[in-house]
Structure 1
Amino acid sequence: MTVLTNTPWDELQIGMEAEVRRVCRADDFYVFANITGNMNPKHFPRFKDLDGAALQEPVAPAMWVSTLISSALGNKLPGPGTLYKSQCLEFFERAFAGDELIIRVRVTEKLPDRVARFACRVDTTDGKKLAEGTADVHVPTVRIDYRVDDIPGLIVQRHIHFDALLSEAEPLPPIMTAVVAPETEDSLLGPLLGYDHTLIHPILIGSAARIRDAAGKIGRDISGFDIIDEPDHARAAALGVRMVNDGLAAALMKGNLHTDLLLGEVVKRDGGLRTGRRLSHVFVMDVPGLTHLLLISDGAINIAPDLETKVDITQNAIDLAHTLGIAEPKVGVLSAVETLNPKIQSTLDAAALSKMAERGQIKGALVDGPLALDNAVNIQAARTKGIRSLVAGQADILIAPTLESANMLAKELTFIAHAEAGGIVMGAKCPVILTSRADDDQARLVSCAVAALYAHRKPLT
C-alpha cells in the first residue's frame, strides 16, 4: 500500500525539489489517444513514415510528457490536494517507447493567494532534455495523508491483433485443407468456421457417417463438401498426407484423433512431409496489454529439446513471424535467469542461439538470451536488471526451454490473462493445424487464418 503525504503552504520553502521517474510504454500512448481523441499514428507502434521507413519505436505525445509533471506535483511536492493554475512548457527533443524519463520540479516563488511557482523539467535518463518550463499551482493549507490502495488498472486493447490477421487472410483465396477425422461436433466446427470466413476449403477425411452425424448435431448442412469415407484413423491420416504430396491440399488439419497418429504420418521418411527441419508447434497469441502478437514455441511437440532442436524451433517461429507481417522479429530465448549459469543448461543453449543468430546460422531475426520472462516482455523489468538490448522487454517470440514451460506459459496467458491463442505446426511441407477440444471459436478460426497466411506467403523453396 502506497501512502502519499503533502507539504502544506506554511511548510513549503523556496528551493524545495522533488522528482519522479517513468518508463514510456506504448500502452500509455494508446490510453492517451483514447482519452484525448488524438489519433496521430506517429504515436502508435509499427507506424511507417511517408517515405516508408519504419520507426523503431512510437513517439511519445508531447502533451503526454507534460502530464507527467502533474505526477510530481500531485504526488510529491506539494502533493495531495494540489490544483493547477497554469503551466508553460517548451519542448526540445522527443521521447520514445522504452525511454525512462526523469521529471523534476523545484519551488521558485510563493505568490499571493497560496499559489506557488515551480520550475519544471523533463529529461531522459541518458541526459536528453525533453521539456522545460514553469507551473503555477494552488497549494493545500492542511496536511493530507492519502492511501493509494484501490486504483483500478487498465487492460489496453482486446484482441485487435487477431482481428487484423483475419482481415488480412479473408480476402485471400481459401486454401485446400485435408481435415483428418472431423467426427465430433468440436472437431468439425473448426474447419467449418474456417470455411465460413473464406480461409480454408476443407476436405473431410474420416467416417462419413460420424462426420454427417456431427454436422447434424451442430445444425450444419455439409452436403456440398468433399467427404472421403475412411473410418480408420491411421489410414485417414496417411490419406491426408498423400493429398498434400499430390498437390491436392495445401494444409493439414487435425480432427478427433491422437496428435501422435497424425504427426507420425507427417514425419515418415517415405511418403511423409519432411523438409529436413524438425517439426515444432508455434502458439500465436493476442495478449491484452501487448502492442503486438506474441509467438511462443514449442509447447506441443518437442519435450526436452537439445540445442540442435532449438535451432529448428527458433527458425520455424521466425519463418512464421515473417508471414504474419513481422519483418524482423525480436526473439527472447527464455530461462529462469538472465545470466549464464553452467548448472542451468537452458542458459547455455540461449547464449548459443543468440551467438548463432549473430553469425547468420539463424536468419531473419534479432535473437537474445538467456532472458527471464519478466525482462523478455517488460521494458521496466529489463531496465531494472540493467539489461539493454534490442530484444529485452520487447520480444515478439519467446523460445521456452521445454515443452512443459511453453505449454504452461501459453495456457496461463489464455486462461488467466484473457489472451486468445491459435497456432500451427511448422517444419513440414505444409502448415499443420492442431486444434484442441478446449479451444474456443476464435482460437480455431485464428489457427486457420495463420495457416492460410503462411501457405500464401511462405518463400518458395
Structure 2
Amino acid sequence: MKDLHMKTITNTPWDQLEIGMEAEVRRICRADDFYVFANISGNMNPKHFPRFKNVEGALKEPVAPAMWVSTLIASALGRKLPGPGMLYKSQSLNFFERAFAGDEIIVRVKLIEKKPDYVAVFECKVDTADGKKLVEGVAEVFAPTEPMDYVIDDLPGLIVQRHAIFDKLLKEAEPLPPLKTAVVAPETEDALLGPLLGYDHTLIDPILIGDERKIREAAEKVGRDLSGFEIIDEPSHRLAADIGTRLVNEGQAAALMKGNLHTDVLLGAVVKRDGGLRVGRRLSHVFVMDVPGLNHLLLISDGAINIAPDLETKVDITQNAIDLAHTLGIREPKVGILSAVETVTPKIPSTLEAAALSKMAERGQIKGALVDGPLAMDNAIDLGAARTKGIRSMVAGQAEILIAPNLESANMLAKELTFIAHAEAGGLVIGAKCPVILTSRADDDKARLVSCAVAALYAHRKKPM
C-alpha cells in the first residue's frame, strides 16, 4: 500500500490516448538548475552562471541554457502525457527568445497524431509566464502500453555545492587592511601556499619565520618570488614559535599562523606564562563551516585542543565560539550543546554538563547567545527532527554553533561534514591575545583563504576580553 502523503504520477496508456489531449507543467528557472545542467552536460558557458558580466562589465542574470529549457518538454511528456513508461523516438525544435534565472516557464504538449507501433506525435511549446515564446517543435514518442506509476519521493534529491556563505565572508574581509601575521615554519609547499594565498587576496601580510633555505626552496617549487617578504631565519621550530609570539607582544604582528610544525609546539609558545599570549581564558579551536544544504554558517568546537574538557573549560569553549560568531556577523548565535540524547541522564555525563551550560547562559555566566542542551545532532540542526521529538526552543533545529562533548566527537563531526557532506571548513584558535590560524595539509585553497578571512574579521571586529 502506498503512503497517502506521497505524490504519485500515473500514465495514460496507448489505448486511452485521444487526439487533442493536452498537458502542462510549470517551472521556475533557478541558477542552481544551470549548475546541475553544466555538471551533467559539460556545457561550461559562463553566460549560464550567476554574476556573468558582459563586455561593458555590467552584471547580467544568467541565461538559461537552451537545451536545458528543451529538456522541460521531456518533463511534460514523461510526467503528464503520456507519462511514465514513454520513450523518445525523435524531436525537432526551433528556439526563439531566451529565458533567465527567475523566469517562470510554461511547457505545453498536445497530442496531434497516433502512428503505427505505438508512436504518439506531440506538438510542443515552451513560453515564459509573461508571454515570451522560447521553443516550438514536435516530439515523437513510443507511448506506454500498460498502466504505470511512480512515487516522486523515491527520486533522490540534489544539493548544489556552491559555498556562497564563504564567498560572502571573503567579500567582507578583503576591503580590510591586511592583517600582519607571523607565519611559523612555512617550510614546505603546502605550508607556504596558505599565507601566499592570504597575501594575494589582501587578507594578511605575512612575516615568514623558519629555516630560510627551506622556505625559499618551497617558494621556488610553487613559482613564487619572496623578495618582497620579510623572512626571519630560525631553523628551530620551538624558537621560531617563540619569535612569533614575541612579535605579537611587541605589536609587530596581529595574528599567528601555523606552518609545517606540530600544533603543540606552536601552542606551547602561545600558552607560556612568560612571553606567551594568554589572556585568562582557556584556548579553544573553532571550525567555521559552510555546509551544503544549510543557509547559515556552522561553527563547531572544540576539535583540536581540549581533549576531554571539564565543565569550566566548556564554558570558555562556548564563549570563545560565541565571540567568534559575533565578529562573523551573527548577532545572537544559537548554540546547541551536543550529546547522544536530548534528555538529561546521569548515565551520560555530557548531558549533565550540557544542562548546566544551558542554565549558566540563562544566568548570564555565558553571554551573547541563546544556549540549549543537551541536544542530539539531529534535533540540533533539523527543525523536523526537533518537532518530532517534541523539543521546542529558540535553538533546537536551528543551531549555528555546536559544542561537542570532547575533542574526538568535534573533530570527527567536522571531518565527516568536510569529506562526506562536501562542506568547506576554515579554522581558528580563539582565547589568546591574537587569533591563531591553524591550517592542514588536506585543506584546499578555499579553506586556507577562509581561515585567513576569519582571522582578519575577528582581529578587526572583536571586543576586548
What's the TM-score once normalised by structure 1's chain length? 0.70
* Aligned partner (choices 290, 299, 305) of residue 301 of structure 1: 305
Q: Partner of 1:49 in structure 2?
A: none
- Secondary structure at the aligned position of 2:439 is classed as coil
Write out aligned runs for 1:129-140 (5 A). none
Q: Partner of 2:196 in structure 1?
A: 192
Write out aligned runs for 1:331-370 (5 A). 331-370=335-374
Deviation at 1:242, TM superposition (A): 0.4
Q: Partner of 2:15 in structure 1?
A: none
Measure, in 2, the Cα distance between the counterparts of 1:440 and 1:251. 21
Listed one character per residue, the Cα deviations across residues 324-368 of structure 1 (whole Å, up to 9, x for unaligned) are: 000000000000000001110110000000000000000000000
- Check 1:154–1:392 CA distance in 2 against 1; reply closer, same or farther (3 A cut): same
Deviation at 1:152, TM superposition (A): 3.3
1:246 aligns with 2:250: yes
Q: Partner of 1:265 in structure 2?
A: 269
Deviation at 1:155, TM superposition (A): 1.2
Measure, in 2, the Cα distance between the counterparts of 1:286 and 1:147. 32
Q: Partner of 2:388 in structure 1?
A: 384
1:372 aligns with 2:376: yes
In structure 2, what residue type is equivalent to 1:365?
Answer: A
Give the conservation status (yes or no) of the 8 Å contact 2:9–2:152.
no
In structure 1, what residue type is equivalent to 2:405?
Answer: P
Measure, in 2, the Cα distance between the counterparts of 1:408 and 1:248. 36
1:163 aligns with 2:164: no
Write out aligned runs for 1:98-137 (5 A). none
Give the conservation status (yes or no) of the 8 Å contact 2:337–2:404.
yes
Q: Partner of 1:316 in structure 2?
A: 320
- Secondary structure at the aligned position of 2:451 is classed as helix
Measure, in 2, the Cα distance between the counterparts of 1:343 and 1:272. 39
* Aligned partner (choices 277, 283, 296) of residue 279 of structure 1: 283
Q: What percent identity do the matched residue pairs reach? A: 79
Paired residues in the alignment total 338
What's the TM-score once normalised by structure 2's chain length? 0.69
Measure, in 2, the Cα distance between the counterparts of 1:413 and 1:358. 30
- Check 1:190–1:264 CA distance in 2 against 1; reply closer, same or farther (3 A cut): same
Deviation at 1:5, TM superposition (A): 6.5
Measure, in 1, the Cα distance between the counterparts of 2:198 and 2:308. 33
Give the conservation status (yes or no) of the 8 Å contact 1:274–1:429.
yes
* Aligned partner (choices 235, 255, 259) of residue 255 of structure 1: 259
Q: Partner of 1:182 in structure 2?
A: 186
Give the conservation status (yes or no) of the 8 Å contact 2:10–2:149.
no
Deviation at 1:147, TM superposition (A): 4.1
Listed one character per residue, the Cα deviations across residues 10-30 of structure 1 (whole Å, up to 9, x for unaligned) are: xxxxxxxxxxxxxxxxxxxxx
- Check 1:249–1:5 CA distance in 2 against 1; reply closer, same or farther (3 A cut): closer
Give the conservation status (yes or no) of the 8 Å contact 2:301–2:402.
yes
- Check 1:178–1:169 CA distance in 2 against 1; reply closer, same or farther (3 A cut): same
Give the conservation status (yes or no) of the 8 Å contact 2:195–2:206.
yes
Q: Partner of 1:48 in structure 2?
A: none
Question: Larger Cα Rg: Structure 1 or Structure 2?
Answer: 2
- Check 1:363–1:145 CA distance in 2 against 1; reply closer, same or farther (3 A cut): same
Q: Which runs of 5+ in 1 are unaligned?
A: 9-30, 37-74, 82-141
* Aligned partner (choices 421, 428, 449) of residue 425 of structure 2: 421
Give the conservation status (yes or no) of the 8 Å contact 1:295–1:396.
yes
